[in-house]
A and B are shown apart, each in its own frame.
Chain A
Amino acid sequence: MPMIINGHQAPVPTDARVSLLDFLREHLELYGSKKGCNQGACGACTVLVDGERVLSCLALAVQYEDREVTTIEGLSSDGALHPLQQAFIDHDGFQCGYCTPGQICSAIGMIEELRRGVPSYVTDDLTAVDVVFGHDELRERMSGNLCRCGAYNGIVDAITDVYAEQGA
């Protein structure tokens, strides 16, 4: 069965060694997802699989048959940017932009986790159904995405804005 990438079907590679990241970039020419460390430390390769954020560099493409993969290229609709894409522009959430596709996919996944009530290491009350969202929660939950330019203030502002508008 094929993989579904941004709504389009693609047969999974026959070579089991191909990572999901290399499959996206080298086979499908979707260069939005970035190869930073290629060892799961930086988050630049973050994509959404069935709505959950994962690291495509640590995933073998062959394991993702029949799954729905969304990359940064699949977030806009009819030419309109995803609210997080627009918020990153509005808040200067980047300088070089290399980490940005991963940051945005990660933030989308994080907002969904917050909706489900997934706890984090800084969540005080583990039994609470609703997470009390704030600066510490955001920083902890986004710690898997590094920004070497140090645009964190803009990134935090962009995500906080979008979460306030649509997340709660």
Chain B
Amino acid sequence: MKLQEKEVSAYKAEHQNIAERLMREMPPFKEAEQLLELVQTHFSLAAHDTLHPKVMILGSAFPEELVYAFGITPYWVLGGSLQTGAWAGELAPRDADPVSRSILGVLLGMGEMACDALILLPIISDSTRKLAYLLRREGLKVHTLDIPPVKDESAARKYERQLELCV
């Protein structure tokens, strides 16, 4: 999907506003500035064109140790903004939560970048389940991990089995 010029400029303006707000409250530490740069790069559209991540993790519920163990640094997509939510448009189901909607928007905005990556998606709600279905339908490689809502012994065994399957 190719974003319209208007959509790109709205995203950039949003990006710029947040950066300006943070700059106004800049703490007196050099490291804080470096961390801000790191986050800005992560969200910049220009960087998206050059990045080719092997593994993408959607949401924060996936144990990242598994990915690092293969010597791969995961590319996290934890959500986006109002604008990225708008990119998902009518593609996302009407009852999709804002986080799932904005994640879908970010993936659409990434264009080719998401095509080659393995997407790891922890299923924590009905919306994430629908998200997995939509991404698979678009031809992306998606591996899901069910996070059991009940924390008991059988759930732990199920969780372990799923982690083994991931590996």
Partners in one complex: no
Interface residues of A (CB under 8 A from B): none
Instruction: List B residues at the A interface (Cβ < 8 Å).
Output: none
